Amino acid sequence: MWAVYLNRGLEIRQDYPIPSPPPGEARVRVKLAGICNTDLELMRGYLDFRGVPGHEFVGVVEEAPDHPEWVGKRVVGEINAACRVCPTCRAGRPTHCPNRTTLGISGRDGAFAEYLLLPVVNLHEVPPEIPDEAAVFVEPLAAALEILEQTHIRPTDRAVVLGDGKLGSLVAQVMQLTGCDLLVVGRNPNKLALLAGRGIPVAHVEDAGDLSADVVVECTGSPEGFHLARRWVRPRGALVLKSTYHGTVEANLTMVAVDEVTVIGSRCGPFEPALRLLRQGLVDVQPLIHARYPLQEADRAFEHAARKGALKVLLEIPL
């Protein structure tokens, strides 16, 4: 069973061919997959996508001809499949490989299906202590951790996370581990309450007032969010863009230059630290799960995920 996005929308197909892994790749039997905002954007025409969406998953390796030792392992997977031979890859930047395919996003069918293919080098074994419901969050949690790979956040820094959604919540929990003076600004009282319950200071956007922060992480993907984040960054501070934007955003780049603001684009991140945080219980993802649907009800799952106030919606893949 596969959920396939075509011109008419999302269709459940039983006749989709079971993929055979090419050299260096593995076929993974998907157990659980998560719907994220990128998936919702794909359904609205982002990247002119056609195929099987989905890139947050946990599954079991069923076939890996070049690496039989992986068969039977429960895994998560990095979503960028690089060529590994171009100058960009040889320079240690495989996530920016110009020849890459991206699971469920570009050139490679994704996780809303019984099976997916990924290079074995992209796979990470999931420790037995981590349940499937937590393992499915490894990819977005790794993306949150990428912020700490890109900028040094000190315990004495003032940091603001703008956005209280799925990614914003994960970013906030990761930032909290640095000991920084943290504030999360959002719009949804229920989402903000979840973070406040973990001891993270929160504020509604209408009550935030004028802020000045060393680091602002923008997780809304909206023009309004970008402009607020830019306004709240102090001179010589850092603005981290953690969400993609639909369309273009107008910005006063003169003041970015005058204030010497560092703008950091941030995307995929390290999986092994994400697995460690989940295994050690330092990040709590269970409260972010709002609903679970069987794959054959993918349309309903997407409708739920698109509702105002929804957090993570999971798809269960039948065995």
CA distance 143 to 128: 22
* Structure confidence at residue 291 (pLDDT): 96
pLDDT surpassing 90 at residue 24: yes
Q: Would you place residue 156 in the very low, low, confident or very high pLDDT band (cuts 50, 70, 90)?
A: very high
CA distance 295 to 113: 8
The CATH number corresponding to 2-137+285-316 among 3.40.50.970, 3.40.50.2000, 3.40.50.280, 3.90.180.10 equals 3.90.180.10
* Structure confidence at residue 45 (pLDDT): 77
Domain ranges (residues) in the chain: 2-137+285-316, 141-265
* Structure confidence at residue 153 (pLDDT): 96
Q: Which of 301, 296, 293 is nearest to 3 (CA)?
A: 296
* Structure confidence at residue 298 (pLDDT): 94
The stretch 66-77 carries a mean pLDDT of 97
**Rounded (5°) CA angle 285-289-293:** 140
- Cβ atoms of residues 52 and 109 within 8 Å: yes
The stretch 248-262 carries a mean pLDDT of 94
* Structure confidence at residue 223 (pLDDT): 93
* Structure confidence at residue 44 (pLDDT): 82
pLDDT surpassing 80 at residue 278: yes
Phi and psi at residue 202, to the nearest 5°? -135, 160
- Cβ atoms of residues 173 and 194 within 8 Å: no
**CB-neighbour burial class of residue 140 (10 A; exposed 0-12, middle 13-18, buried 19+):** buried
Q: Is the pTM of this model over 0.85?
A: yes
* Structure confidence at residue 48 (pLDDT): 82
Q: Which of 100, 116, 95 is nearest to 32 (CA)?
A: 116
Q: List the structure tokens of 73.
A: 């392992």
The stretch 245-273 carries a mean pLDDT of 93
Please give the mean pLDDT across all residues of the chain: 95
pLDDT surpassing 90 at residue 262: yes
The stretch 63-68 carries a mean pLDDT of 96
* Structure confidence at residue 49 (pLDDT): 87
Higher pLDDT, 8 or 20: 20
Backbone region of residue 235 per phi and psi (left: phi > 0; alpha: psi in -120 to 50; beta: other values)? beta
* Structure confidence at residue 151 (pLDDT): 96
Q: List the structure tokens of 313.
A: 């919606």
pLDDT surpassing 90 at residue 9: no
Q: List the structure tokens of 189.
A: 């009282």
The edge-to-edge listing of strands for the beta sheet with 262-265 is 202-204, 181-186, 158-162, 213-218, 233-241, 262-265
pLDDT surpassing 80 at residue 5: yes
CA distance 52 to 50: 7
* Structure confidence at residue 7 (pLDDT): 74
Q: Which residues touch 28 (CB under 8 Å, ≥6 apart)?
A: 57, 59, 60, 61, 62, 75, 77, 115, 116, 117, 118, 123
Q: What is the pLDDT of residues 73-95, one digit of tens each?
A: 999 999 999 999 999 999 999 99
CA distance 36 to 31: 17
* Structure confidence at residue 47 (pLDDT): 75
Q: What kind of fold does domain 141-265 have according to CATH?
A: Rossmann fold (3.40.50)
pLDDT surpassing 90 at residue 109: yes
If one counts every other C-beta atom within 10 angstroms of the C-beta of residue 203, the result is: 16
The stretch 198-215 carries a mean pLDDT of 96
pLDDT surpassing 90 at residue 225: yes
* Structure confidence at residue 272 (pLDDT): 98
The stretch 288-297 carries a mean pLDDT of 96
